[in-house]
């Protein structure tokens, strides 16, 4: 009897807790709802999470620019392949493509701290830069602020210890990359940098074999080209939860099971008649 009473008490206590918790959640939801309702934006990621994204909008009634997966949040369908793109700029080997037929989505828009790089810290002023001098060796000096802003920099997973920051980032213009001749190139044109080492991949990319292009399929048609860093994270191309060179992502929903099959493991358990 005593035990029962004790259990009842626990149950009552839990119920009370739950109702209060639920009420709190509801309150929170109610508080969030008016704030979240006006924009009603659906943003989906394109190739990998954390790189380029598209915001859903209607081009015509019932004809959106993109459809997003409700399960994973990935872009599932393109109505307008050129959404938010700019001309690619000069690219050696692509002279045959008519002007304006090669477009890219600027990477700089997605890199939040990029505008600050060359102004806030790497601005060429301060005791370390007066007179301007470069580090003696290629061992990166741990700078807590830098590592805080960019955790990948702590243990660079690219080049297996053979490369460091300034092999890719320009020495004096830190918001730019370096091309073959050491000249600064825009961060929107990483292919000019990556092709220095990965020449075979760049050749295939230029011909449309490696990487991804969307738009018109004719070889001179207008295409949106996906640049290197839209699919690969340059600071982490080696390790992590990856297989076959790709960071693992959640798959979309599986197809319907055939009639009579209860679950995907059914055959393993029950066998099949041949």
Partner 1 sequence: MLSASALMGSAALMTMSDDAKAATEWAEHFQKNYRLMTDAEKAEARTRLERRYSSEYGKKVTVDTTGPQPGVLMGYALNVRKCIGCRRCVHACVEENNQSRGTRPGEKIEWIQVLRMERGEFSKDKMNQGYPEGLGIQVGGNAYTPAGQVLEGQYRYEPEAVPEKDATYMPIACMQCEKPPCVKVCPVRTTYREADGPVVIDYNWCIGCRMCMGACPYWARRINLTTPVLPKEEMNPVTHYLGNRPRMRGVVEKCHWCLQRTRQGRYPACVEVCPVGARKFGNLLDPESEVSLILARKNVFRLKAELNTFPKFFYFYD
Residues within the interface to partner 1 (CB under 8 A): 46-48, 61-63, 67, 69, 74-78, 81, 96, 204, 207-219, 221, 226, 231, 241, 243-244, 246, 248-259, 261, 263-268, 271-272
Residue number, 18 or 261, with CB nearest to partner 1: 261
Q: Please check whether residue 71 is in contact with residue 250, taking contact to mean a CB–CB distance below 8 angstroms.
A: yes
Edge-first strand listing for the sheet containing 86-87: 86-87, 102-104, 223-225
Residue number, 76 or 197, with CB nearest to partner 1: 76
Residue with tokens 């960019």: 150
Supply the minimum distance, in Å, between the C-beta of residue 17 and partner 1: 31
Residue number, 25 or 216, with CB nearest to partner 1: 216
Supply the minimum distance, in Å, between the C-beta of residue 185 and partner 1: 23
Alpha-helical (H) ranges within 56-197 are 114-116, 144-149, 165-168, 191-194
Supply the minimum distance, in Å, between the C-beta of residue 152 and partner 1: 20
Supply the minimum distance, in Å, between the C-beta of residue 114 and partner 1: 24
Residue number, 139 or 244, with CB nearest to partner 1: 244
Supply the minimum distance, in Å, between the C-beta of residue 199 and partner 1: 14
Q: Of 20, 71, 13, which Cα lies nearest the Cα of 45?
A: 71
C-alpha to C-alpha distance for 93 and 207, rounded to whole angstroms: 9
Q: Please check whether residue 77 is in contact with residue 59, taking contact to mean a CB–CB distance below 8 angstroms.
A: no
Q: Please check whether residue 152 is in contact with residue 140, taking contact to mean a CB–CB distance below 8 angstroms.
A: no
Residue number, 160 or 268, with CB nearest to partner 1: 268
């Amino acid at each position: 009897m005593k035990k029962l009473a004790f259990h009842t008490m626990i149950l009552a206590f839990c119920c009370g807790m739950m109702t209060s918790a639920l009420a709190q959640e509801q309150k929170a939801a109610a508080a969030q709802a008016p704030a979240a309702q006006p924009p009603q934006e659906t943003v989906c990621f394109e190739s990998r999470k954390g790189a380029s994204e598209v915001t859903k909008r209607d081009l015509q009634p019932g004809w959106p620019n993109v459809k997003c997966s409700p399960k994973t949040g990935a872009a599932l369908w393109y109505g307008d392949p050129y959404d938010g793109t700019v001309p690619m700029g000069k690219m050696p080997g692509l002279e045959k493509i008519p002007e304006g037929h090669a477009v890219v989505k600027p990477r700089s828009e997605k890199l939040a701290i990029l505008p600050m790089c060359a102004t806030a810290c790497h601005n060429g002023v301060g005791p370390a830069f007066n007179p301007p001098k470069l580090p003696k060796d290629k061992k990166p000096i741990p700078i807590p602020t830098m590592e805080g802003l960019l955790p990948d920099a702590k243990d660079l997973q690219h080049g297996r210890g053979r490369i460091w920051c300034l092999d890719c980032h320009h020495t004096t213009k830190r918001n730019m990359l370096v091309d073959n001749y050491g000249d600064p190139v825009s961060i929107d044109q990483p292919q000019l940098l990556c092709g220095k080492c990965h020449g075979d991949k760049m050749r295939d990319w230029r011909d449309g074999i490696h990487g991804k292009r969307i738009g018109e399929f004719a070889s001179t048609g207008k295409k949106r080209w996906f640049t290197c860093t839209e699919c690969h994270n340059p600071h982490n191309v080696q390790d992590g939860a990856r297989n076959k060179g790709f960071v693992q992502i959640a798959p979309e929903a599986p197809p319907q099971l055939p009639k009579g099959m209860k679950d995907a493991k059914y055959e393993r358990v029950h066998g099949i008649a041949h």
